[in-house]
């Protein structure tokens, strides 16, 4: 099980600031979003617009071995400024 940090509307929809998710190897952005959607279907529409961050860096198509992953996060559309 991996801990995935949640923020903003995503954290509100789930009622938690982080969740535990089962993920396949290698870890990819698509795998994190698919596991989140399966576990918390109410996040589905927001998830479509989320990015994934591994170790506090946005990822796109990269693949990660479990040993490379220290911190996972789902990033809803940002709106600072």
Q: Interface with other proteins by CB under 8 A: which residues? A: 5, 7-9, 46, 49, 53, 56-58, 73, 75-81
Give dist(CA 43, CA 41) in Å, integer: 5
Q: Which of residues 34 and 46 has its CB atom nearest to other proteins in the complex?
A: 46
CB of 75 to other proteins, least distance (A): 5
CB of 65 to other proteins, least distance (A): 21
CB of 59 to other proteins, least distance (A): 12
Give dist(CA 56, CA 5) in Å, integer: 11
Question: In DSSP terms, which residues pair with 53 in a beta bridge?
Answer: 58, 73
Among left, alpha and beta (phi > 0; psi -120 to 50; other), residue 30 is alpha
Q: Which of residues 26 and 77 has its CB atom nearest to other proteins in the complex?
A: 77
């Amino acid at each position: 099980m991996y801990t995935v940090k949640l923020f903003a509307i995503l954290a509100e929809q789930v009622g938690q600031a982080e969740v535990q998710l089962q993920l396949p190897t290698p870890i990819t952005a698509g795998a994190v979003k698919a596991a989140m959607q399966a576990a918390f279907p109410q996040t589905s529409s927001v998830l479509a617009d989320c990015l994934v961050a591994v170790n506090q860096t946005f990822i796109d198509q990269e693949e990660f071995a479990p040993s490379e992953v220290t911190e996972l996060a789902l990033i809803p559309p940002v709106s600072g400024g």
